[in-house]
Amino acid sequence: MKNLFLVLSIILSISVFGQNNKEAEKLVRDVISKISSYDNFKANLSYTMVNTEMDINEKKTGDIIVSGEKYRVEMEGQIIMSDGVTMWTYLVESMEVMVSNVSDNEDGMSPTSILTKYDENYKSSFDNDNKYKNSNIKKIDLKTNADKGVQELSLMVNASNLGLESFSVYDMNGSVFTYHIINLTPNIELDAETFSFIEANHPDVEVIDMR
């Protein structure tokens, strides 16, 4: 989940200093500008995690809702909610929820706060080696030489409607995390419980306060 938060941070707020390809930089900026104009959005995700050396090929599906610093991720029996200050990790089958401070999780990562740790290290460029049936689909690689947990990102975008199709995270351990966005709906109606766990409404759930 850490990688998802990292990519969302970059998608929502990135400032790409790609000197080698100004067109790729402009397209990334335009896509992010469109997403950032939404009050909130909900997306259905298809997730894969592949590590050839470790013989791992994991697939999951889920949903995410983002509104500023707040987010909610639901993925196969686990719900993670954050109101920007507190984070709840709800394990549905286990009937327990772990409560922690956002600042104590993921080295302070959230979908909007990690940017300043990464933006100056990335350079953007088009990957022109792959051709797609839809000529509007462009792959943009974001690479860094910095000693970070994430070595490379790639974004698949639709240049005609500035839609984000998918994104992949390549970490230093050889793992590739890919999130395909099946659909993205902006500016949805949200209820009061979207980004927080209301204990009174879940009396049978064990609360483990880790703060």
Give the tens place of pLDDT for each residue, 32-65. 778 778 888 898 988 888 998 899 999 989 998 9
Higher pLDDT, 129 or 196: 196
Buried b (16+ CB within 10 A) or exposed e, 26-39: ebbeebbeebeebe
- Tokens 């500035």 identify what position? 162
Return the amino acid letter for 120.
E
Measured CA distances, 116 to 13, 39, 43, 136, 149 (Å):
9, 22, 25, 30, 15
Most confident among 3-12, 99-108, 177-186, 195-204 (mean pLDDT) = 195-204
- Report the C-alpha gap between 118 and 84 in whole angstroms: 20
Q: How confident is the model at residue 196 (pLDDT cuts 50, 70, 90)?
A: very high
User: What does the pLDDT read at residue 76?
Assistant: 86
Q: How confident is the model at residue 114 (pLDDT cuts 50, 70, 90)?
A: very low
User: What does the pLDDT read at residue 31?
Assistant: 79
Q: Which of 68, 122, 86, 98 is nearest to 205 (CA)?
A: 98
Q: How many H-runs (helices) and E-runs (strands) does the chain carry?
A: 2, 12
Number of domains in the chain: 1
pLDDT tens column, 125-182 = 777 656 666 778 888 887 765 555 566 778 888 999 988 888 888 877 888 888 888 8
User: What does the pLDDT read at residue 130?
Assistant: 62
Q: How confident is the model at residue 113 (pLDDT cuts 50, 70, 90)?
A: very low
- Looking up residue 147, the CATH number of its domain turns out to be 2.50.20.10
CA 148 to chain centre: 17
Q: What kind and span of H or E run contains 2?
A: helix 2-13
Q: Which residues form the domain of 37?
A: 2-209
- pTM attached to this predicted model: 0.74
User: What does the pLDDT read at residue 107?
Assistant: 45
Q: Which of 110, 104, 135, 138 is nearest to 25 (CA)?
A: 138
User: What does the pLDDT read at residue 19?
Assistant: 39
195 pLDDT above the threshold of 50:
yes
Cα-Cα-Cα-Cα dihedral sign, residues 103, 108, 112, 113: positive
User: What does the pLDDT read at residue 208?
Assistant: 97
User: What does the pLDDT read at residue 189?
Assistant: 95
Percentage with pLDDT > 90 across the chain: 29
Measured CA distances, 119 to 6, 10, 15, 23, 169 (Å):
12, 8, 6, 17, 15
